[in-house]
Chain A
Amino acid sequence: NAGVTQTPKFRILKIGQSMTLQCTQDMNHNYMYWYRQDPGMGLKLIYYSVGAGITDKGEVPNGYNVSRSTTEDFPLRLELAAPSQTSVYFCASSWAGVTGELFFGEGSRLTVL
């Protein structure tokens, strides 16, 4: 199993551009998440999904959109990129249940200039 795969690993955007961060998992997990991590800070939850067709906002959803058309994929869309969105983005997935161990991708480092 590849686990959670994120692309791209690095990206530089200009202010006002848009892009999509891709996330796919091959563990058949119901739950998927997007987090962002600013330098020296903890992770902040952007959006999450409990299954195909179901998404909900996390702690910091403004400026982002998500969709979940399949169990495997959970893309994160940035519209009108701003310097404040410069961050490392992590996608994660998990089973439902008590253990609910989250499996994280390697991260996507985004810089907005």
Chain B
Amino acid sequence: DTEVTQTPKHLVMGMTNKKSLKCEQHMGHRAMYWYKQKAKKPPELMFVYSYEKLSINESVPSRFSPECPNSSLLNLHLHALQPEDSALYLCASSPRWDSNQPQHFGDGTRLSIL
């Protein structure tokens, strides 16, 4: 079982809907990440949070809005998504964003945009 928990596992939404993805870790890590992964491609970084503050935004469209309520939780708010946003969304955590320790991933949310 992964130590990074993501909910929901699957999500189908229309282009006008608003939904949120959730991620939780209890490893005491202070860096958390959102990735997008398309089929047969490696994960693509979207956002990095360090000590609950947004450190990196990889020029992600504003229809994706991240939030880090506390050191264990990470949300990704979705609004007015496009069909090309259908993908596996992965959350990861690591002890610190500038450390040399590995990131640990959750099992992702499979998102389908109708």
Do A and B come from the same complex?
A: no
